[in-house]
Amino acid sequence: MDWQARLQEYLAPRTAQVNAALERYLSESPPLPRVLPDAMRYAALTPGKRLRPILCIAAAETLGGTAEQVMPTACALELIHAFSLVHDDLPAMDNDRLRRGQPTVWVKYGEAMAILAGDALFAKAFELLAEQARLSPPERVVQVIELVAQASGVQGMCGGQVEDILCEGQTVSAEQLRFIHTHKTGALIRASVLAGALLMGADKPTRDALDAYSRALGLAFQIADDLLDETESTEQMGKPAGSDRAHGKATYPALFGIEAARAHAQHAMQEAIDALQPFDTRADPLRWLATFAVERRW
């Protein structure tokens, strides 16, 4: 079996588990407030790669844990990802109307509801991160919450999105582009891997190796994303192709050209795989995911 088939076999049950848990966590629907719970479910349950929960689970499994043991945290990471997409798509931000093949949340529910659905998903994520304390020692849980909060905020995802917007239509330096990529997507990908490791009580050398892995993975994933936007069809991706170029976004292909961007992505992928050298075959899913990050078509 090649890596693709093995990754598929690995992903199928775990993605199903994550989806079932997300459903459960978002199932509560008292009579009030109206609409908001539906908007939250719409934002978070539309099919997606579930990359962040899977990375959290795969990191925990690498260190002898199971998916069940980290599920609240894994799902929290997906909710934070969903929250960021809902806000990024708003008219005042990227003004996107299509996401995962569906109308974006603000198109379907209006802007006010999209802002609040994003906020409420973010809040729900921290509720789940705290709920993790029913399964893990609270001192580890608190470390994870601090890490995830930092990865989401001004020196993480929000900061990356700010620079992404400010750089639209501008000439950007390699340094600015790197900031955007490592913050806008990289920070939460890194936090996902490290969260799984922290919950298993990983020691410093283990955390350092997974830190190096996750940084390289995040970069590889985002360069690949830039490339897909240039080379794939709208239908294939479920969101408008060529939208980065249309928005004048700072991307690797725009700054370095398609070939050099491909080489960058390959290099980052190799770096990610090399960082996993200390680990046995339980880290294989993390290895396949590094390859997938670059070779995927969506």
CB of 12 to a copy of itself, least distance (A): 30
Q: Of 158, 83, 91, 185, nearest to 127 (Cα)?
A: 83
* By CB under 8 A, residue 36 contacts a copy of itself: yes
Q: Judged by CB under 8 A, how many residues of this single chain contact a copy of itself? A: 61
55 within 8 A of 76, measured Cβ to Cβ: no
- Residue 103, SS3 per DSSP: strand
Binding mask 93-132 for a copy of itself (x = CB under 8 A): x----------------xxxx-xx-xxx-xxxxxx-xxx-
* By CB under 8 A, residue 208 contacts a copy of itself: no
* DSSP β-ladder status, 102-103 and 98-99: antiparallel
CB of 40 to a copy of itself, least distance (A): 7
- Residue 170, SS3 per DSSP: coil
CB of 146 to a copy of itself, least distance (A): 4
CB of 125 to a copy of itself, least distance (A): 8
* By CB under 8 A, residue 186 contacts a copy of itself: no
* By CB under 8 A, residue 27 contacts a copy of itself: no
Interacting positions 242-261 with a copy of itself (CB under 8 A): none
Separation in Å, CA 135 to CA 151, 159, 179: 23, 32, 35
Q: Of 67, 86, 64, nearest to 15 (Cα)?
A: 67
CA distance linking residue 47 with residue 100, whole number of Å: 7
97 Cβ partners below 8 Å, 6+ apart? 89, 103, 104, 107, 240
Q: Which of 35, 174, 246, 263 binds a copy of itself (CB under 8 A)?
A: 35
210 within 8 A of 193, measured Cβ to Cβ: yes
CB of 120 to a copy of itself, least distance (A): 4
Separation in Å, CA 32 to CA 11, 29, 36, 43: 36, 8, 9, 19
Q: Of 200, 209, 202, 178, nearest to 286 (Cα)?
A: 209
CB of 122 to a copy of itself, least distance (A): 6
* By CB under 8 A, residue 176 contacts a copy of itself: yes
Q: Which of 92, 174, 260, 263 binds a copy of itself (CB under 8 A)?
A: 92
CB of 109 to a copy of itself, least distance (A): 10
Interacting positions 132-161 with a copy of itself (CB under 8 A): 133, 137-139, 141-143, 145-146, 148-150, 152-161
* By CB under 8 A, residue 201 contacts a copy of itself: no
Burial of 32 (0-12, 13-18, 19+ CB in 10 A): exposed
148 within 8 A of 80, measured Cβ to Cβ: yes
Q: Which residues bind a copy of itself (CB under 8 A)?
A: 28, 30, 32-37, 40, 83, 87, 90, 92-93, 110-113, 115-116, 118-120, 122-127, 129-131, 133, 137-139, 141-143, 145-146, 148-150, 152-163, 165-166, 176, 179, 183
